[in-house]
């Protein structure tokens, strides 16, 4: 192996290990020797992104007269056109692995063109309509593409034809797309394991995806109550599927509700399904007879907890062939947690490893009279902090010894409790409770402002993440205005930026 080749491989490896896109760009700058630039560019162009909305960010409407709008947009179109036509023909195209294309679907506009917001929509649509055919035509040239995400575009015959040329696809996602009724079928890809289809319209064009089903291990689709035939026909063709996520487009869902009795999902469909994320509406049909150990509800049905909670859980989630290990649910009323939810879940899921509930707390409002003893007692009992306190005390039921992760957060901020005034003390009691001796992770607080605790290998609890700007002791309320604020200083945590080229 020559020194030049060795040096090239080393610099490619260095670029691959860079933390941020800026570091990779620095290796590709003109100041660097050519062999370093050439070695780093394949890494720089590995991930590409186009966002039609960038046109608005780059186009300063405040500095351009209305009569200059068309010429300015044409200039931007020409610049993007060159990028879309030249890059696929360059040697770098074969190094592209990830493409994220975000277009623009038509939005209602007013006839008043003097209105700048209307003008923005019109020119954004003009720009996006010009770029989409160029990108679609260039797709076959990205021969090494493994992941493709397309959002806010129309999936038609030309699009499907282009997609069917990509032999190395492993992940394909359509987000908020319009699927034409005349669209051809996608073919079966040898390596495609992940597929997402979320349509902009309340439709589910199953004919588009039916051809890709045989190789899928992960499927994410949007469906309503009336799409059970399409959904089940797709699942019948997914022998390797392990993870299913259904974005439920129906707003109203009632406890024990499920598809028509005429709907039938063969017991042989999806024999390896292990994770279900979706509504309770489809849960019973899909979980029954399959090794589903992870259940994540996307919404809680109306009046679900007016029925005996134990019957509802048994009906929908207890008919799989393996024990449930992970259970998650949003919008769980605080009024059901103490007497029904926890005893039921821990009894019905004795092998539970992870439990996440988003609790809807009992809220103070003008209809609640805290000077009434019964009202005050009800509020104190159903308060979020009291729920945590009860779990840390001796219980009349057993916590599964398998439980390792417990996430109990509220969907809104809560007021202060008259007794449990210090959040830190409540959480400390929960962490060290004998009920949760085997717990390794605890998340408490609200959805947006929370604490995450982890137990080290030495059995010591440490806070690994904390969101800020909320007094975890509870927001002050007029009736309890004399309580002291005992909140601590907080710090913000930010996530790293994903490396990609934005064209």
Same domain for 159 and 189, yes or no, is yes
Is 210 inside any structural domain? yes
Same domain, 3 and 67: no
Separation CA 137–CA 36 (nearest Å): 32
| Same domain for 75 and 139 | yes
Specify whether 338 is located in the same domain as 199.
no
Inform me whether the pLDDT recorded for 67 exceeds 60.
Answer: yes
What pLDDT is attached to residue 134?
Answer: 95
Cβ distance 255 to 309 under 8 Å?
no
pLDDT at 326: 98
> What's the 3-state SS for 240-309?
CCCEEEEEECCCCCECCCCCCCCCCCCCCCCCCCCEEEECHHHHHHHHCCCCCCEEEECCCCECCCCCCH
- Within this chain, do residues 114 and 22 fall inside the same structural domain, yes or no? no
Question: Do 208 and 338 belong together in one domain?
Answer: no
Q: Which domain holds residue 12?
A: 1-44
Read off the pLDDT band of 479 (50, 70, 90).
Answer: very low
What's residue 494's pLDDT? 37
Domain boundary among 163, 190, 216: 216
Q: Are 212 and 82 within one domain? A: yes
Is the CB of residue 415 less than 8 Å from the CB of residue 450?
Answer: no
Residue 147 lies in a domain: yes
Q: Which two tokens stand for residue 482?
A: 């004399």
Same domain, 4 and 96: no
10 and 40 share one domain: yes
187 in a domain, yes or no? yes
Both 109 and 34 in one domain: the answer is: no
DSSP state at residue 67? G
Do 194 and 343 sit in the same domain of this protein?
Answer: no
User: Which residue among 186, 216, 246 closes a domain?
Assistant: 216
Tell me the two tokens of residue 414: 């809560």
| pTM given for the model | 0.85
For residue 315, tell me if it sits in a domain.
Answer: no
Structure tokens at 56: 């608005």
Residues 331 and 477 in one domain: yes
CA dihedral 50, 55, 56, 58 (to 10 degrees): 110
Could you give the percent of the chain with pLDDT greater than 90? 47
Domain for residue 257, yes or no?
Answer: no
CA of 103: how far to CAs of 50, 84, 128, 174, 283, in Å? 8, 14, 6, 11, 34
**Assigned token pair, 428:** 């400390």
Comparing 297 with 76, the larger pLDDT belongs to 297
Q: How many domains does the chain have?
A: 3
**Stretch 63-78: mean pLDDT, rounded?**
74
Lowest mean pLDDT among 119-128, 433-442, 464-473: 464-473
Q: In this model, does residue 333 exceed pLDDT 90?
A: no
313 part of a folded domain: no
Residue 271 forms part of a structural domain? no
Kindly state whether residue 8 falls inside one of the protein's structural domains: yes
């Amino acid at each position: 192996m020559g020194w030049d080749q060795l040096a090239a491989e080393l610099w490619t490896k260095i670029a691959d290990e860079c933390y941020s896109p800026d570091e990779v760009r620095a290796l590709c700058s003109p100041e660097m020797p050519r062999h370093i630039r050439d070695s780093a560019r394949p890494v720089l162009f590995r991930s590409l992104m186009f966002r039609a909305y960038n046109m608005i960010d780059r186009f300063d409407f405040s500095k351009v007269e209305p009569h200059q709008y068309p010429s300015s947009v044409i200039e931007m179109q020409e610049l993007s056109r060159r990028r879309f036509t030249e890059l696929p023909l360059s040697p770098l195209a074969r190094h592209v692995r990830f493409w994220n294309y975000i277009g623009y679907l038509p939005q209602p506009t007013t006839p008043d063109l003097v209105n700048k917001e209307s003008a923005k929509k019109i020119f954004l649509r003009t720009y996006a309509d010009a770029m989409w055919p160029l990108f679609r035509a260039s797709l076959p040239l990205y021969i090494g593409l493994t992941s493709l995400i397309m959002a806010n575009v129309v999936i038609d015959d030309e699009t499907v034809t282009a997609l069917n040329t990509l032999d190395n696809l492993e992940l394909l996602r359509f987000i908020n797309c319009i699927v034409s009724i005349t669209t051809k079928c996608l073919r079966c890809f040898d390596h495609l394991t992940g597929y997402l289809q979320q349509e902009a319209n309340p439709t589910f064009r199953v004919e588009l995806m039916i051809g890709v089903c045989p190789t899928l291990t992960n499927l994410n689709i949007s469906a309503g109550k009336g799409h059970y035939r399409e959904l089940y026909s797709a699942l019948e063709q997914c022998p390797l599927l392990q993870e299913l996520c259904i974005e439920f487009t129906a707003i109203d869902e009632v406890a024990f509700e499920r598809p028509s009795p005429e709907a039938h999902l063969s017991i042989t469909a999806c024999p390896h399904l292990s994770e279900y994320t979706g509504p309770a509406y489809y849960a019973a049909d899909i979980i029954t007879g399959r090794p589903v150990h992870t259940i994540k509800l996307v919404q809680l049905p109306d009046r679900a907890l007016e029925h005996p909670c134990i019957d509802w859980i048994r009906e929908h989630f207890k008919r799989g062939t393996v024990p449930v290990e992970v259970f998650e649910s949003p919008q769980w009323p605080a009024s059901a947690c103490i007497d029904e939810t926890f005893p039921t879940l821990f009894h019905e899921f004795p092998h539970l490893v992870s439990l996440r509930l988003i609790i809807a707390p009992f809220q103070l409002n003008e209809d609640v009279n805290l000077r009434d003893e019964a009202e005050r007692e009800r509020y104190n009992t159903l308060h979020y902090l009291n729920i945590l306190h009860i779990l840390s005390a001796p219980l009349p039921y057993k916590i599964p010894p398998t439980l390792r992760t417990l996430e109990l957060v509220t969907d809104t901020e809560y007021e202060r409790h008259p007794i449990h005034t210090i959040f830190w003390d409540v959480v400390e009691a929960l962490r060290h409770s004998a009920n949760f001796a085997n717990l390794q992770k605890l998340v408490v607080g609200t959805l947006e402002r929370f604490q995450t605790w982890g137990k080290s290998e030495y059995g010591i609890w440490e806070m690994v993440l904390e969101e800020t700007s909320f007094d975890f002791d509870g927001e002050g309320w007029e009736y309890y205005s004399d309580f002291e604020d005992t909140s601590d200083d907080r710090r913000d945590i930010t996530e790293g930026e994903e490396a990609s080229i934005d064209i």
